[in-house]
A = this chain, B = another copy of it.
Amino acid sequence: MDVVKDILVGAARACGATIVDVAFHEFNPFGVSGVVVIAESHLSIHTWPEYRYAAVDIFTCGDVIKPEYAADYIASRFRCKNPSIVEMKRGLIPGATGKVPHKVSDPTGKIAQRVTQRVPDAAQELSLVH
């Protein structure tokens, strides 16, 4: 469990995320489930060592975080030879302007800045098979 946790926390750092919570659980006789909640959404992992398989979600929002860095980091640390990576755009997809309308009263512009950062725009599902 410690190794899996270290890899997922490292992945969050690798893509520039801000970690806000970490929750991991080890199953008997084997298998780990864990989540790293980040300010930009979350990373999760479930491992089935008996199948040499792990399912990873990298859910990020904003333009700063690079979920592909996290995916590459995780595949590399697990020495995964056969990663299957699916990218899903989800949420309120901005139009051609790149602006998302919102109704927050925001005279200082500070909330808009934060809101823009938190617009959900990408979730990566990473399936690792050795």
A 80-130 contacts with B by CB, 8 A:
86, 88, 90-92, 100, 102-104, 111, 114-115, 118-120, 123, 125, 127, 129
Check B42 against A90 for contact (C-beta < 8 Å).
no
Among B48, B90, B103, the residue within 8 A (CB) of A120 is B48
Taking chain A's interface residues, is the majority helix, strand, or loop, or is none over half, making it mixed?
strand
Q: Distance (Å) between the CB of A92 and the closest chain B CB?
A: 6
Interface residues, chain A, CB within 8 Å of chain B?
20-25, 27, 29, 31, 33-35, 37, 39, 41-42, 44, 46, 48, 50-51, 53, 55, 57, 59, 61, 86, 88, 90-92, 100, 102-104, 111, 114-115, 118-120, 123, 125, 127, 129
